[in-house]
């Protein structure tokens, strides 16, 4: 595993520079932490480049053999740097992340890639999806129970575990990866037009409160300084929460920039307000 810092005018350019430096083209082989979001500045003053820390995992990809491996095979620890926006968040909602064993988002999503190549004719139901998620968690050392709630418009996989921090991951990376995996399975094999949520304990509820507090503080900062604020990369579902919350502020506008999984929100002041 190799880690290096890269700087460029935008986050995408910094990522491209890092991939070129490591001699790879597959972004799935690296993890990216945004140390500093780019800032345009004013009249040429105060402009800042984007700074990222890229970790090259030096693994081609995980296959079905990883998912089928014995539960006593523990993943290697990988530290994840804090970003500026994390400092704004109330860290009390992540106090459950006390376990030292961690799983990377790449490990979980690689399992997704191996599964989506299954035959389209395969018969799946929600119990099969829950069982698959349970196997992934057990493989990495977390015994879990999963309840499924289906109200037609939304399917919730509610996970309970005595090691919730291990299933959530730092800054929610693992539970978000599990949610992406569940969405792929449900949309391909069961029902296409439905919202899929994976929750661990009351993490999603606490995360909602954290995102709304972050949005409120960011709106106040932008309204006061009349300068844009660049938030850390967030999953689409969390960007949507902040978009919706900030819609109540008539002097604030938001848009997303970058490419997944490093797409982030820009919160700006309406110049015509």
- pLDDT attached to residue 111: 53
Helix (H, G, I), strand (E, B) or coil at 220: helix
Residue 119 lies in a domain: no
Residue 74 lies in a domain: no
Could you say which DSSP state residue 162 is in? S
Residue 190 lies in a domain: yes
Q: Where are the beta strands (DSSP E) in the chain?
A: 2-8, 30-36, 50-56, 144-150, 154-161, 195-200, 229-233, 252-257, 264-269
Same domain, yes or no: 223 and 188:
no
Same domain, yes or no: 210 and 251:
yes
CA distances 164 to 10, 67, 134, 200, Å, are: 35, 20, 13, 7
Same domain, yes or no: 188 and 133:
yes
The CA distance from 250 to 230, in Å, is 19
Residue 161 lies in a domain: yes
Instruction: Using the 3D structure, point to which of 60, 78, 104 is the last residue of a domain.
Output: 60
Residue 97 lies in a domain: no
Residue 69 lies in a domain: no
Same domain, yes or no: 134 and 196:
yes
Q: Which domain holds residue 55?
A: 2-60
Same domain, yes or no: 180 and 225:
no
- The reply to whether omega before 232 is within 30° of 0 (cis) is no
- pLDDT attached to residue 107: 58
CB atoms within 10 A of CB 9: 13
Same domain, yes or no: 50 and 9:
yes
Q: What is the CATH number of the domain that holds 158?
A: 3.30.300.20
Instruction: Using the 3D structure, point to which of 182, 200, 218 is the last residue of a domain.
Output: 200
- pLDDT attached to residue 77: 38
Same domain, yes or no: 190 and 217:
no
- pLDDT attached to residue 31: 84
- pLDDT attached to residue 230: 97
Residue 22 lies in a domain: yes
Same domain, yes or no: 132 and 186:
yes
Same domain, yes or no: 187 and 210:
no
For the chain, what is the domain count?
Answer: 3
Cβ atoms of 50 and 8 closer than 8 Å: yes
Same domain, yes or no: 131 and 195:
yes
- pLDDT attached to residue 266: 96
Q: What is the CATH number of the domain that holds 230?
A: 3.30.1370.50
Profile the chain (273 residues) by mean pLDDT over runs of 10 residues.
86 90 81 84 63 72 38 38 41 43 54 47 79 91 96 95 94 92 93 95 97 97 96 94 96 94 94 75
Same domain, yes or no: 131 and 194:
yes
Same domain, yes or no: 185 and 224:
no
Residue 140 lies in a domain: yes
Is pTM beyond 0.85? Reply is: no
């Amino acid at each position: 595993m190799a880690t290096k810092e890269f700087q460029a005018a935008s986050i995408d350019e910094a990522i491209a520079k890092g991939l070129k430096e490591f001699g790879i083209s597959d972004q799935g082989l690296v993890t990216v932490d945004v140390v500093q979001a780019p800032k345009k500045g004013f009249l040429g003053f105060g402009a800042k480049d984007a700074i990222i820390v890229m970790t090259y995992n030096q693994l081609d990809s995980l296959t079905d053999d990883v998912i089928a491996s014995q539960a006593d095979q523990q993943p290697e620890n990988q530290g994840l740097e804090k970003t500026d926006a994390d400092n704004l968040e109330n860290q009390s909602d992540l106090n459950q992340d006390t376990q030292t064993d961690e799983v990377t988002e790449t490990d979980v999503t690689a399992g997704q890639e191996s599964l989506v190549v299954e035959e389209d004719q395969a018969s799946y139901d929600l119990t099969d999806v829950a069982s698959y998620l349970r196997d992934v968690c057990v493989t990495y050392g977390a015994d879990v129970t999963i309840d499924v709630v289906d109200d037609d418009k939304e399917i919730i996989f509610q996970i309970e575990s005595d090691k919730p921090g291990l299933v959530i991951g730092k800054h929610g990376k693992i539970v978000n990866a599990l949610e992406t995996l569940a969405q792929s399975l449900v949309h391909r094999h069961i029902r296409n037009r439905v919202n899929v949520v994976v929750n661990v304990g009351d993490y999603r509820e606490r995360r909602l409160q954290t995102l709304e507090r972050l949005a409120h503080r960011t709106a106040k900062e932008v309204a006061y300084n009349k300068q844009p604020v660049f938030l850390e990369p967030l999953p689409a579902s969390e960007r949507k929460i902040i978009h919706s919350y900030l819609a109540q502020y008539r002097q604030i506008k938001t848009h997303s920039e970058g490419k997944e999984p490093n797409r982030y929100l820009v919160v700006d002041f309406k110049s015509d307000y």
